Structure 1
Amino acid sequence: MKAVLCDAVNPINSIGSYLKDYFGKKTVKLSLDGGFTCPNRDGSKGINGCIFCSADGSGDFASDISGQIKLLSDKWPNSNHLAYFQNHTNTYAPVSELREKYYSVINNSDISGIAIATRPDCLSDEIYELLDEINKKTFLWIELGLQTIHENTAELINRCYALEAYDEAIKRLNQLNIRTVVHLIFGLPGESKQNMLDSVKYVCKDNIFGLKMHMLNVVKGSQMEKLYPDYISFNSIEQYVDLVVDALEIIPPRITIHRMSADAPRPILISPEWSYQKRTILNGIHKELKNRNSWQGKKYLE
Protein backbone atom coordinates (compact mmCIF):
# COMPACT_ATOMS: atom_id res chain seq x y z
CA MET A 1 0.00 0.00 0.00
CA LYS A 2 1.14 3.51 -0.73
CA ALA A 3 1.97 5.89 2.11
CA VAL A 4 -0.96 7.96 3.34
CA LEU A 5 -0.68 11.74 3.23
CA CYS A 6 -3.73 13.73 4.23
CA ASP A 7 -3.95 17.37 3.18
CA ALA A 8 -6.49 20.08 2.40
CA VAL A 9 -7.45 18.30 -0.85
CA ASN A 10 -7.74 14.80 0.67
CA PRO A 11 -8.39 15.57 4.34
CA ILE A 12 -9.44 12.12 5.62
CA ASN A 13 -7.95 8.64 5.19
CA SER A 14 -11.32 6.96 4.72
CA ILE A 15 -11.75 3.20 4.79
CA GLY A 16 -13.64 3.42 1.51
CA SER A 17 -10.62 4.89 -0.25
CA TYR A 18 -8.30 2.40 1.42
CA LEU A 19 -10.38 -0.60 0.30
CA LYS A 20 -10.73 0.70 -3.23
CA ASP A 21 -6.95 1.10 -3.41
CA TYR A 22 -6.36 -2.34 -1.82
CA PHE A 23 -8.82 -4.34 -3.92
CA GLY A 24 -8.83 -2.14 -7.01
CA LYS A 25 -12.58 -1.53 -6.90
CA LYS A 26 -15.42 -0.35 -4.67
CA THR A 27 -15.69 -2.67 -1.66
CA VAL A 28 -18.82 -2.89 0.47
CA LYS A 29 -19.34 -4.40 3.94
CA LEU A 30 -22.23 -6.82 4.35
CA SER A 31 -23.49 -6.67 7.95
CA LEU A 32 -24.24 -10.19 9.17
CA ASP A 33 -25.98 -11.62 12.21
CA GLY A 34 -23.91 -14.64 13.24
CA GLY A 35 -26.36 -15.65 15.97
CA PHE A 36 -23.97 -14.76 18.80
CA THR A 37 -24.81 -13.34 22.20
CA CYS A 38 -22.60 -11.43 24.66
CA PRO A 39 -21.11 -12.15 28.11
CA ASN A 40 -22.73 -8.92 29.18
CA ARG A 41 -26.15 -10.34 28.33
CA ASP A 42 -26.11 -14.05 29.11
CA GLY A 43 -25.26 -13.66 32.81
CA SER A 44 -21.56 -14.55 32.76
CA LYS A 45 -20.72 -10.86 33.29
CA GLY A 46 -24.05 -9.10 33.09
CA ILE A 47 -27.63 -9.44 31.89
CA ASN A 48 -28.62 -6.16 30.28
CA GLY A 49 -25.67 -5.40 28.02
CA CYS A 50 -23.93 -2.04 27.77
CA ILE A 51 -26.46 0.67 28.48
CA PHE A 52 -26.35 2.08 24.93
CA CYS A 53 -27.02 -1.23 23.12
CA SER A 54 -30.35 -1.88 21.45
CA ALA A 55 -32.09 -5.23 21.82
CA ASP A 56 -30.26 -6.40 18.69
CA GLY A 57 -26.83 -5.67 20.15
CA SER A 58 -26.04 -2.59 18.05
CA GLY A 59 -26.48 -4.58 14.87
CA ASP A 60 -29.82 -3.24 13.70
CA PHE A 61 -28.96 -3.44 10.01
CA ALA A 62 -27.56 -6.99 10.02
CA SER A 63 -28.96 -9.58 7.61
CA ASP A 64 -27.82 -12.39 5.30
CA ILE A 65 -25.17 -12.32 2.54
CA SER A 66 -27.32 -13.06 -0.49
CA GLY A 67 -30.03 -10.67 0.64
CA GLN A 68 -27.59 -7.81 1.11
CA ILE A 69 -25.78 -8.39 -2.18
CA LYS A 70 -29.13 -8.31 -3.96
CA LEU A 71 -30.13 -5.16 -2.08
CA LEU A 72 -26.88 -3.37 -2.91
CA SER A 73 -26.42 -4.62 -6.47
CA ASP A 74 -28.30 -1.73 -8.06
CA LYS A 75 -26.19 0.87 -6.29
CA TRP A 76 -22.85 -0.94 -6.63
CA PRO A 77 -23.27 -3.59 -9.37
CA ASN A 78 -19.58 -4.54 -9.68
CA SER A 79 -18.38 -4.13 -6.11
CA ASN A 80 -16.29 -6.35 -3.86
CA HIS A 81 -17.85 -7.59 -0.62
CA LEU A 82 -16.53 -7.99 2.90
CA ALA A 83 -18.50 -10.09 5.37
CA TYR A 84 -18.99 -8.13 8.60
CA PHE A 85 -20.02 -10.03 11.73
CA GLN A 86 -21.56 -7.04 13.44
CA ASN A 87 -24.01 -7.45 16.29
CA HIS A 88 -23.29 -8.74 19.78
CA THR A 89 -19.87 -10.38 20.45
CA ASN A 90 -18.70 -12.34 17.44
CA THR A 91 -15.92 -14.32 19.11
CA TYR A 92 -18.10 -15.40 22.04
CA ALA A 93 -18.58 -19.07 21.23
CA PRO A 94 -16.60 -22.32 21.18
CA VAL A 95 -13.74 -22.24 18.67
CA SER A 96 -15.32 -25.09 16.69
CA GLU A 97 -18.45 -22.99 16.17
CA LEU A 98 -16.45 -19.90 15.28
CA ARG A 99 -14.42 -21.87 12.74
CA GLU A 100 -17.56 -23.22 11.09
CA LYS A 101 -19.23 -19.81 10.83
CA TYR A 102 -16.15 -17.90 9.69
CA TYR A 103 -15.19 -20.45 7.06
CA SER A 104 -18.73 -20.69 5.72
CA VAL A 105 -18.33 -17.02 4.84
CA ILE A 106 -14.71 -17.12 3.70
CA ASN A 107 -15.48 -19.97 1.31
CA ASN A 108 -18.27 -17.96 -0.33
CA SER A 109 -17.04 -16.86 -3.78
CA ASP A 110 -18.84 -13.52 -3.38
CA ILE A 111 -16.75 -12.59 -0.32
CA SER A 112 -13.27 -11.01 -0.49
CA GLY A 113 -12.57 -10.69 3.22
CA ILE A 114 -14.03 -10.68 6.71
CA ALA A 115 -14.46 -8.20 9.57
CA ILE A 116 -15.31 -9.41 13.08
CA ALA A 117 -16.66 -7.16 15.83
CA THR A 118 -15.99 -8.32 19.38
CA ARG A 119 -14.93 -7.44 22.91
CA PRO A 120 -11.28 -7.54 23.97
CA ASP A 121 -12.13 -9.81 26.89
CA CYS A 122 -13.51 -12.48 24.52
CA LEU A 123 -10.27 -13.49 22.82
CA SER A 124 -8.72 -16.70 24.17
CA ASP A 125 -5.44 -18.27 23.06
CA GLU A 126 -7.40 -20.68 20.84
CA ILE A 127 -9.31 -17.82 19.24
CA TYR A 128 -6.09 -15.92 18.56
CA GLU A 129 -4.78 -19.04 16.82
CA LEU A 130 -7.92 -19.24 14.67
CA LEU A 131 -7.74 -15.56 13.78
CA ASP A 132 -4.06 -15.92 12.89
CA GLU A 133 -4.96 -18.81 10.58
CA ILE A 134 -7.73 -16.80 8.90
CA ASN A 135 -5.56 -13.71 8.59
CA LYS A 136 -3.06 -15.75 6.58
CA LYS A 137 -5.81 -16.91 4.21
CA THR A 138 -7.83 -13.78 3.56
CA PHE A 139 -8.25 -10.07 4.28
CA LEU A 140 -9.25 -9.64 7.93
CA TRP A 141 -9.78 -7.02 10.55
CA ILE A 142 -10.97 -7.29 14.15
CA GLU A 143 -13.13 -4.58 15.70
CA LEU A 144 -12.82 -3.92 19.43
CA GLY A 145 -15.63 -2.09 21.22
CA LEU A 146 -13.70 0.07 23.67
CA GLN A 147 -15.96 3.17 23.69
CA THR A 148 -13.89 5.01 26.34
CA ILE A 149 -10.60 4.70 28.20
CA HIS A 150 -12.04 6.12 31.42
CA GLU A 151 -12.81 3.46 34.01
CA ASN A 152 -15.54 5.45 35.79
CA THR A 153 -17.40 5.82 32.49
CA ALA A 154 -16.82 2.15 31.66
CA GLU A 155 -18.46 1.21 34.95
CA LEU A 156 -21.35 3.57 34.34
CA ILE A 157 -22.07 2.13 30.88
CA ASN A 158 -21.77 -1.44 32.24
CA ARG A 159 -18.92 -2.38 29.89
CA CYS A 160 -17.80 -5.12 32.30
CA TYR A 161 -14.10 -5.24 31.42
CA ALA A 162 -11.09 -3.13 32.40
CA LEU A 163 -8.83 -1.11 30.12
CA GLU A 164 -6.08 -3.70 30.66
CA ALA A 165 -8.11 -6.22 28.65
CA TYR A 166 -8.08 -3.84 25.69
CA ASP A 167 -4.34 -3.20 26.05
CA GLU A 168 -3.64 -6.95 26.05
CA ALA A 169 -5.85 -7.56 23.02
CA ILE A 170 -4.14 -4.83 21.00
CA LYS A 171 -0.75 -6.25 21.95
CA ARG A 172 -1.69 -9.80 20.92
CA LEU A 173 -3.37 -8.77 17.67
CA ASN A 174 -0.41 -6.60 16.69
CA GLN A 175 1.96 -9.51 17.36
CA LEU A 176 -0.07 -11.52 14.84
CA ASN A 177 -0.17 -8.66 12.32
CA ILE A 178 -3.96 -8.63 12.45
CA ARG A 179 -5.62 -5.34 11.59
CA THR A 180 -7.57 -3.78 14.45
CA VAL A 181 -10.37 -1.24 14.36
CA VAL A 182 -11.34 0.50 17.61
CA HIS A 183 -14.80 1.84 18.47
CA LEU A 184 -15.16 5.04 20.48
CA ILE A 185 -18.43 6.64 21.50
CA PHE A 186 -18.58 10.40 22.01
CA GLY A 187 -21.04 11.97 24.44
CA LEU A 188 -21.18 9.26 27.10
CA PRO A 189 -22.72 10.52 30.37
CA GLY A 190 -20.29 12.50 32.51
CA GLU A 191 -17.52 12.83 29.92
CA SER A 192 -16.07 16.21 28.98
CA LYS A 193 -14.71 17.11 25.57
CA GLN A 194 -11.20 16.59 26.91
CA ASN A 195 -12.15 13.14 28.22
CA MET A 196 -13.26 12.16 24.71
CA LEU A 197 -10.13 13.53 23.06
CA ASP A 198 -8.00 11.72 25.64
CA SER A 199 -9.61 8.45 24.52
CA VAL A 200 -8.71 9.29 20.92
CA LYS A 201 -5.10 10.04 21.85
CA TYR A 202 -4.81 6.83 23.86
CA VAL A 203 -5.92 4.46 21.13
CA CYS A 204 -3.87 6.27 18.50
CA LYS A 205 -0.64 5.61 20.39
CA ASP A 206 -0.90 1.95 19.38
CA ASN A 207 -0.53 0.44 15.94
CA ILE A 208 -4.23 0.29 15.11
CA PHE A 209 -5.57 -0.02 11.58
CA GLY A 210 -8.78 1.92 11.93
CA LEU A 211 -11.05 4.00 14.14
CA LYS A 212 -14.82 4.29 14.46
CA MET A 213 -16.20 7.40 16.13
CA HIS A 214 -19.84 8.32 16.66
CA MET A 215 -22.10 10.14 19.03
CA LEU A 216 -24.05 8.31 21.71
CA ASN A 217 -27.56 7.56 20.50
CA VAL A 218 -30.33 6.87 22.97
CA VAL A 219 -32.48 4.18 21.36
CA LYS A 220 -35.65 2.37 22.29
CA GLY A 221 -35.10 -0.87 24.14
CA SER A 222 -31.73 0.17 25.59
CA GLN A 223 -30.87 0.67 29.24
CA MET A 224 -30.17 4.31 28.39
CA GLU A 225 -33.84 4.74 27.64
CA LYS A 226 -34.69 3.50 31.14
CA LEU A 227 -31.85 5.12 33.10
CA TYR A 228 -31.44 8.43 31.22
CA PRO A 229 -34.67 8.95 29.24
CA ASP A 230 -34.05 12.68 28.72
CA TYR A 231 -30.33 12.45 27.98
CA ILE A 232 -28.99 14.15 24.85
CA SER A 233 -25.34 13.57 24.03
CA PHE A 234 -24.93 16.67 21.86
CA ASN A 235 -27.21 19.68 21.61
CA SER A 236 -26.57 20.35 17.93
CA ILE A 237 -24.92 19.01 14.81
CA GLU A 238 -22.47 21.92 15.00
CA GLN A 239 -21.34 20.93 18.50
CA TYR A 240 -20.73 17.35 17.39
CA VAL A 241 -18.97 18.39 14.16
CA ASP A 242 -16.59 20.62 16.12
CA LEU A 243 -15.57 17.69 18.34
CA VAL A 244 -15.06 15.28 15.43
CA VAL A 245 -12.83 17.75 13.60
CA ASP A 246 -10.80 18.31 16.78
CA ALA A 247 -10.40 14.54 16.98
CA LEU A 248 -9.45 14.13 13.32
CA GLU A 249 -6.69 16.70 13.72
CA ILE A 250 -4.91 14.54 16.31
CA ILE A 251 -5.40 11.16 14.57
CA PRO A 252 -2.33 9.95 12.64
CA PRO A 253 -2.93 9.92 8.85
CA ARG A 254 -2.02 6.20 8.69
CA ILE A 255 -5.20 5.27 10.63
CA THR A 256 -8.23 4.58 8.45
CA ILE A 257 -11.46 6.32 9.47
CA HIS A 258 -14.41 3.93 9.39
CA ARG A 259 -17.13 6.02 10.94
CA MET A 260 -17.75 9.61 11.97
CA SER A 261 -21.49 9.45 12.48
CA ALA A 262 -24.09 6.96 13.74
CA ASP A 263 -26.63 4.66 12.14
CA ALA A 264 -29.51 4.16 14.55
CA PRO A 265 -32.71 3.42 12.57
CA ARG A 266 -35.20 6.27 12.88
CA PRO A 267 -38.02 4.08 14.32
CA ILE A 268 -35.95 3.33 17.44
CA LEU A 269 -33.98 6.60 17.69
CA ILE A 270 -34.80 8.79 20.69
CA SER A 271 -31.91 11.28 20.77
CA PRO A 272 -30.16 13.20 19.39
CA GLU A 273 -33.18 13.52 17.11
CA TRP A 274 -30.95 14.77 14.27
CA SER A 275 -28.36 11.97 14.37
CA TYR A 276 -30.04 10.09 11.49
CA GLN A 277 -29.01 12.99 9.19
CA LYS A 278 -25.76 11.24 8.30
CA ARG A 279 -25.11 13.14 5.08
CA THR A 280 -25.66 16.50 6.77
CA ILE A 281 -23.25 15.57 9.57
CA LEU A 282 -20.55 14.34 7.19
CA ASN A 283 -20.92 17.41 4.99
CA GLY A 284 -20.57 19.55 8.11
CA ILE A 285 -17.34 17.78 9.06
CA HIS A 286 -15.83 18.36 5.62
CA LYS A 287 -16.99 21.98 5.63
CA GLU A 288 -15.41 22.60 9.03
CA LEU A 289 -12.13 21.01 7.90
CA LYS A 290 -12.15 23.35 4.91
CA ASN A 291 -12.96 26.38 7.08
CA ARG A 292 -10.00 25.53 9.33
CA ASN A 293 -7.75 24.64 6.39
CA SER A 294 -7.20 21.41 8.27
CA TRP A 295 -7.06 17.63 7.80
CA GLN A 296 -6.56 14.35 9.63
CA GLY A 297 -3.31 14.40 11.56
CA LYS A 298 -2.55 18.10 11.13
CA LYS A 299 -1.93 18.44 14.88
CA TYR A 300 -0.83 14.86 15.51
CA LEU A 301 2.80 15.70 16.32
CA GLU A 302 2.11 18.92 18.20
Structure 2
Amino acid sequence: VAGIERRNQSTAQEFILLGFPGNQQLQISLTVVFTTTYVLILTGNVAIIALVMAHPYLQTPMYFFLCNLSFLEIWYTTACVPKAIAVFLGKSRAIPFLSCILQMYFVFSLGCTEYFLLSVMAYDRYLAICYPLHYSVLMSSTKCTHLAFLCWVSGFLVITIPSSLIATMSFCNSNVINHFSCTTDSLIFLSCSDTSMVKLSSLILSVLIILGSCLITLASYILIISTIVRIPSAQGRQKAFSTCSAHLIVVIMWYGSTIFLYVRYTKQNVLDMNKFINILNTIITPLLNPFIYTLRNKEVKEALSKAFSRM
Protein backbone atom coordinates (compact mmCIF):
# COMPACT_ATOMS: atom_id res chain seq x y z
CA VAL A 1 0.00 0.00 0.00
CA ALA A 2 2.82 2.35 0.91
CA GLY A 3 4.45 1.63 -2.46
CA ILE A 4 1.21 2.42 -4.31
CA GLU A 5 0.88 5.72 -2.42
CA ARG A 6 4.46 6.68 -3.30
CA ARG A 7 3.78 5.93 -6.97
CA ASN A 8 0.60 8.04 -6.88
CA GLN A 9 2.51 10.95 -5.35
CA SER A 10 4.66 11.45 -8.42
CA THR A 11 5.86 14.63 -10.01
CA ALA A 12 3.57 15.91 -12.77
CA GLN A 13 5.05 15.74 -16.26
CA GLU A 14 3.23 18.88 -17.38
CA PHE A 15 0.70 21.44 -16.24
CA ILE A 16 -2.25 23.08 -17.98
CA LEU A 17 -2.54 26.86 -17.64
CA LEU A 18 -6.19 27.84 -17.25
CA GLY A 19 -5.76 31.55 -18.01
CA PHE A 20 -9.03 33.51 -17.89
CA PRO A 21 -11.92 31.15 -18.69
CA GLY A 22 -14.50 32.76 -20.96
CA ASN A 23 -15.83 33.06 -24.48
CA GLN A 24 -13.76 33.57 -27.61
CA GLN A 25 -14.33 37.33 -27.61
CA LEU A 26 -12.73 37.61 -24.15
CA GLN A 27 -9.74 35.54 -25.25
CA ILE A 28 -9.25 37.70 -28.36
CA SER A 29 -9.50 40.89 -26.29
CA LEU A 30 -6.92 39.60 -23.81
CA THR A 31 -4.64 38.58 -26.67
CA VAL A 32 -4.84 42.02 -28.27
CA VAL A 33 -4.23 43.82 -24.95
CA PHE A 34 -1.28 41.63 -23.92
CA THR A 35 0.29 41.63 -27.40
CA THR A 36 -0.01 45.39 -27.87
CA THR A 37 1.31 46.11 -24.39
CA TYR A 38 4.19 43.65 -24.82
CA VAL A 39 5.29 45.31 -28.07
CA LEU A 40 5.11 48.75 -26.42
CA ILE A 41 7.13 47.50 -23.43
CA LEU A 42 9.85 46.09 -25.69
CA THR A 43 9.93 49.19 -27.91
CA GLY A 44 9.94 51.67 -25.02
CA ASN A 45 12.62 49.93 -22.99
CA VAL A 46 14.89 49.20 -25.95
CA ALA A 47 14.53 52.86 -26.99
CA ILE A 48 15.64 54.01 -23.51
CA ILE A 49 18.75 51.82 -23.57
CA ALA A 50 19.65 52.94 -27.10
CA LEU A 51 19.04 56.60 -26.23
CA VAL A 52 21.27 56.51 -23.15
CA MET A 53 24.05 54.67 -24.98
CA ALA A 54 23.91 57.12 -27.90
CA HIS A 55 24.13 60.33 -25.83
CA PRO A 56 27.15 60.75 -23.51
CA TYR A 57 25.44 63.43 -21.37
CA LEU A 58 22.79 60.84 -20.39
CA GLN A 59 25.41 58.43 -19.09
CA THR A 60 24.94 59.41 -15.44
CA PRO A 61 24.16 57.17 -12.43
CA MET A 62 20.41 57.84 -12.70
CA TYR A 63 20.26 56.71 -16.33
CA PHE A 64 22.67 53.85 -15.69
CA PHE A 65 20.22 52.38 -13.16
CA LEU A 66 17.33 53.20 -15.48
CA CYS A 67 18.98 51.16 -18.25
CA ASN A 68 19.30 48.28 -15.81
CA LEU A 69 15.58 48.62 -15.01
CA SER A 70 14.66 48.75 -18.71
CA PHE A 71 16.78 45.67 -19.45
CA LEU A 72 15.11 43.90 -16.54
CA GLU A 73 11.58 44.81 -17.69
CA ILE A 74 12.28 43.36 -21.14
CA TRP A 75 13.16 39.97 -19.68
CA TYR A 76 10.55 40.12 -16.91
CA THR A 77 7.69 40.45 -19.40
CA THR A 78 9.29 38.03 -21.88
CA ALA A 79 9.39 35.36 -19.17
CA CYS A 80 5.59 35.23 -18.89
CA VAL A 81 3.72 37.35 -21.49
CA PRO A 82 4.41 35.30 -24.70
CA LYS A 83 3.23 32.13 -22.94
CA ALA A 84 0.18 33.96 -21.60
CA ILE A 85 -0.71 35.07 -25.15
CA ALA A 86 -0.43 31.46 -26.34
CA VAL A 87 -2.76 30.41 -23.50
CA PHE A 88 -5.35 33.05 -24.46
CA LEU A 89 -5.20 31.90 -28.08
CA GLY A 90 -5.72 28.31 -26.94
CA LYS A 91 -2.64 27.23 -28.90
CA SER A 92 -0.44 26.03 -26.08
CA ARG A 93 -2.01 25.76 -22.64
CA ALA A 94 0.33 22.90 -21.63
CA ILE A 95 3.67 23.67 -20.03
CA PRO A 96 6.24 21.01 -19.03
CA PHE A 97 7.08 20.70 -15.33
CA LEU A 98 10.68 21.92 -15.78
CA SER A 99 9.58 24.87 -17.93
CA CYS A 100 7.00 25.80 -15.30
CA ILE A 101 9.61 25.79 -12.52
CA LEU A 102 12.05 27.79 -14.67
CA GLN A 103 9.38 30.36 -15.57
CA MET A 104 8.47 30.79 -11.91
CA TYR A 105 12.15 31.10 -10.95
CA PHE A 106 12.98 33.75 -13.57
CA VAL A 107 9.82 35.80 -12.97
CA PHE A 108 10.38 35.93 -9.22
CA SER A 109 14.15 36.45 -9.53
CA LEU A 110 13.65 39.38 -11.87
CA GLY A 111 10.91 40.69 -9.59
CA CYS A 112 13.27 40.59 -6.59
CA THR A 113 15.95 42.33 -8.64
CA GLU A 114 13.45 45.08 -9.43
CA TYR A 115 12.76 45.65 -5.72
CA PHE A 116 16.48 46.09 -5.12
CA LEU A 117 16.92 48.34 -8.17
CA LEU A 118 14.03 50.61 -7.15
CA SER A 119 15.60 50.97 -3.70
CA VAL A 120 18.98 51.84 -5.22
CA MET A 121 17.35 54.32 -7.62
CA ALA A 122 15.56 56.01 -4.72
CA TYR A 123 18.85 56.12 -2.78
CA ASP A 124 20.57 57.63 -5.83
CA ARG A 125 17.94 60.40 -6.05
CA TYR A 126 18.30 60.98 -2.30
CA LEU A 127 22.05 61.55 -2.68
CA ALA A 128 21.59 63.74 -5.77
CA ILE A 129 19.04 66.04 -4.11
CA CYS A 130 20.20 66.00 -0.48
CA TYR A 131 23.97 65.96 -1.09
CA PRO A 132 24.48 67.59 -4.52
CA LEU A 133 28.03 68.82 -3.79
CA HIS A 134 29.26 65.35 -2.80
CA TYR A 135 27.11 63.38 -5.24
CA SER A 136 29.83 62.63 -7.80
CA VAL A 137 32.03 61.12 -5.06
CA LEU A 138 29.25 59.28 -3.22
CA MET A 139 27.84 57.76 -6.44
CA SER A 140 30.91 57.11 -8.58
CA SER A 141 30.78 54.90 -11.67
CA THR A 142 32.49 52.09 -9.75
CA LYS A 143 29.95 52.26 -6.94
CA CYS A 144 27.08 52.28 -9.47
CA THR A 145 28.45 49.13 -11.10
CA HIS A 146 28.85 47.41 -7.74
CA LEU A 147 25.31 48.33 -6.62
CA ALA A 148 23.75 47.13 -9.90
CA PHE A 149 25.74 43.88 -9.78
CA LEU A 150 24.66 43.31 -6.17
CA CYS A 151 20.99 43.86 -7.12
CA TRP A 152 21.14 41.28 -9.92
CA VAL A 153 23.08 38.65 -7.96
CA SER A 154 20.93 39.04 -4.83
CA GLY A 155 17.70 38.87 -6.84
CA PHE A 156 18.65 35.56 -8.44
CA LEU A 157 20.12 34.00 -5.31
CA VAL A 158 17.31 34.56 -2.81
CA ILE A 159 14.69 32.80 -4.96
CA THR A 160 16.69 29.59 -5.15
CA ILE A 161 15.39 28.55 -1.71
CA PRO A 162 11.61 28.44 -2.44
CA SER A 163 12.21 27.34 -6.05
CA SER A 164 14.28 24.33 -4.99
CA LEU A 165 11.64 23.39 -2.39
CA ILE A 166 8.84 23.62 -4.98
CA ALA A 167 10.86 21.59 -7.50
CA THR A 168 10.96 18.66 -5.05
CA MET A 169 7.20 18.67 -4.31
CA SER A 170 4.89 15.91 -5.53
CA PHE A 171 1.73 16.59 -7.55
CA CYS A 172 -0.82 13.80 -7.39
CA ASN A 173 -4.16 15.52 -8.06
CA SER A 174 -5.13 18.02 -10.76
CA ASN A 175 -2.46 19.44 -13.07
CA VAL A 176 -4.53 22.53 -14.00
CA ILE A 177 -2.98 25.81 -12.84
CA ASN A 178 -5.56 28.52 -12.21
CA HIS A 179 -3.42 31.28 -13.74
CA PHE A 180 -1.90 32.46 -17.02
CA SER A 181 1.63 31.70 -15.73
CA CYS A 182 3.30 29.46 -13.15
CA THR A 183 3.13 30.97 -9.68
CA THR A 184 4.08 29.76 -6.21
CA ASP A 185 0.52 29.88 -4.87
CA SER A 186 -0.92 27.86 -7.74
CA LEU A 187 1.71 25.13 -7.50
CA ILE A 188 1.34 24.90 -3.71
CA PHE A 189 -2.40 24.17 -4.07
CA LEU A 190 -1.75 21.40 -6.59
CA SER A 191 0.82 19.66 -4.41
CA CYS A 192 0.09 16.66 -2.21
CA SER A 193 3.38 17.13 -0.33
CA ASP A 194 3.87 18.97 2.94
CA THR A 195 3.98 22.60 1.80
CA SER A 196 4.48 24.26 5.18
CA MET A 197 8.20 24.92 4.56
CA VAL A 198 7.51 26.41 1.12
CA LYS A 199 4.81 28.68 2.51
CA LEU A 200 6.94 29.77 5.45
CA SER A 201 10.07 30.45 3.36
CA SER A 202 8.04 32.37 0.75
CA LEU A 203 6.38 34.48 3.45
CA ILE A 204 9.68 35.26 5.21
CA LEU A 205 11.41 36.21 1.95
CA SER A 206 8.43 38.34 0.90
CA VAL A 207 8.46 40.27 4.17
CA LEU A 208 12.24 40.78 4.13
CA ILE A 209 12.59 41.67 0.44
CA ILE A 210 9.35 43.48 -0.39
CA LEU A 211 8.74 45.32 2.87
CA GLY A 212 12.46 45.89 3.45
CA SER A 213 13.07 47.46 0.04
CA CYS A 214 9.76 49.35 0.30
CA LEU A 215 10.83 50.94 3.60
CA ILE A 216 14.21 51.95 2.12
CA THR A 217 12.50 53.44 -0.94
CA LEU A 218 9.88 55.33 1.07
CA ALA A 219 12.46 56.57 3.58
CA SER A 220 14.57 57.92 0.71
CA TYR A 221 11.60 59.76 -0.78
CA ILE A 222 10.57 61.19 2.62
CA LEU A 223 14.06 62.62 3.06
CA ILE A 224 13.99 63.89 -0.53
CA ILE A 225 10.65 65.65 -0.01
CA SER A 226 11.82 67.18 3.27
CA THR A 227 14.81 68.60 1.40
CA ILE A 228 12.72 69.81 -1.54
CA VAL A 229 10.36 71.86 0.64
CA ARG A 230 13.39 73.80 1.89
CA ILE A 231 14.50 74.77 -1.63
CA PRO A 232 14.09 78.58 -1.86
CA SER A 233 13.36 78.63 -5.60
CA ALA A 234 9.75 77.82 -6.52
CA GLN A 235 10.90 76.59 -9.94
CA GLY A 236 13.45 74.28 -8.31
CA ARG A 237 10.82 72.84 -5.97
CA GLN A 238 8.40 72.27 -8.84
CA LYS A 239 11.02 70.47 -10.96
CA ALA A 240 12.08 68.20 -8.09
CA PHE A 241 8.49 67.42 -7.07
CA SER A 242 7.56 66.68 -10.68
CA THR A 243 10.30 64.05 -11.00
CA CYS A 244 9.71 62.47 -7.57
CA SER A 245 5.92 62.33 -7.91
CA ALA A 246 6.22 60.44 -11.20
CA HIS A 247 8.60 57.92 -9.64
CA LEU A 248 6.32 57.49 -6.62
CA ILE A 249 3.36 56.55 -8.86
CA VAL A 250 5.26 53.54 -10.21
CA VAL A 251 6.65 52.63 -6.78
CA ILE A 252 3.19 52.70 -5.16
CA MET A 253 1.65 50.60 -7.95
CA TRP A 254 4.45 48.03 -7.91
CA TYR A 255 4.73 47.68 -4.14
CA GLY A 256 0.98 47.93 -3.52
CA SER A 257 0.17 45.04 -5.85
CA THR A 258 3.09 42.82 -4.78
CA ILE A 259 2.47 43.36 -1.07
CA PHE A 260 -1.12 42.19 -1.62
CA LEU A 261 0.06 39.16 -3.60
CA TYR A 262 2.95 37.91 -1.50
CA VAL A 263 3.08 39.42 1.99
CA ARG A 264 0.45 37.09 3.41
CA TYR A 265 -0.02 33.40 4.02
CA THR A 266 -1.23 31.56 0.92
CA LYS A 267 -5.00 31.16 0.64
CA GLN A 268 -7.04 29.23 -1.94
CA ASN A 269 -9.93 31.69 -2.15
CA VAL A 270 -7.82 34.54 -3.53
CA LEU A 271 -6.32 32.74 -6.54
CA ASP A 272 -8.81 34.30 -8.98
CA MET A 273 -8.13 37.78 -7.59
CA ASN A 274 -4.38 37.13 -7.83
CA LYS A 275 -4.68 36.77 -11.59
CA PHE A 276 -6.16 40.23 -11.97
CA ILE A 277 -3.65 41.83 -9.59
CA ASN A 278 -0.82 40.09 -11.46
CA ILE A 279 -1.78 42.01 -14.60
CA LEU A 280 -0.51 45.17 -12.85
CA ASN A 281 2.91 43.57 -12.34
CA THR A 282 3.06 41.76 -15.66
CA ILE A 283 2.16 44.46 -18.18
CA ILE A 284 0.94 47.72 -16.58
CA THR A 285 3.95 48.64 -14.42
CA PRO A 286 6.56 47.56 -17.02
CA LEU A 287 4.69 49.68 -19.58
CA LEU A 288 4.59 52.77 -17.35
CA ASN A 289 8.21 52.58 -16.19
CA PRO A 290 9.94 53.81 -19.38
CA PHE A 291 7.45 56.64 -19.91
CA ILE A 292 7.28 57.90 -16.33
CA TYR A 293 11.00 57.66 -15.63
CA THR A 294 12.10 59.33 -18.88
CA LEU A 295 9.52 61.49 -20.64
CA ARG A 296 9.28 63.88 -17.67
CA ASN A 297 13.04 64.54 -17.79
CA LYS A 298 14.36 67.48 -19.77
CA GLU A 299 17.55 65.65 -20.82
CA VAL A 300 15.60 62.77 -22.34
CA LYS A 301 13.27 65.13 -24.21
CA GLU A 302 16.30 66.88 -25.71
CA ALA A 303 17.86 63.55 -26.69
CA LEU A 304 14.60 62.42 -28.31
CA SER A 305 14.31 65.72 -30.16
CA LYS A 306 17.83 65.33 -31.57
CA ALA A 307 17.15 61.71 -32.55
CA PHE A 308 13.96 62.64 -34.42
CA SER A 309 15.61 65.63 -36.12
CA ARG A 310 18.38 63.35 -37.44
CA MET A 311 15.77 60.92 -38.77
**TM-score band w.r.t. shorter chain:** under 0.3
TM-score by length of 2: 0.23
TM-score by length of 1: 0.24
Which structure has the higher relative contact order (CA within 8 Å, separation 6+)? Answer: 2
Highest CA radius of gyration, 1 or 2? 2
Which structure is higher in strand share?
A: 1
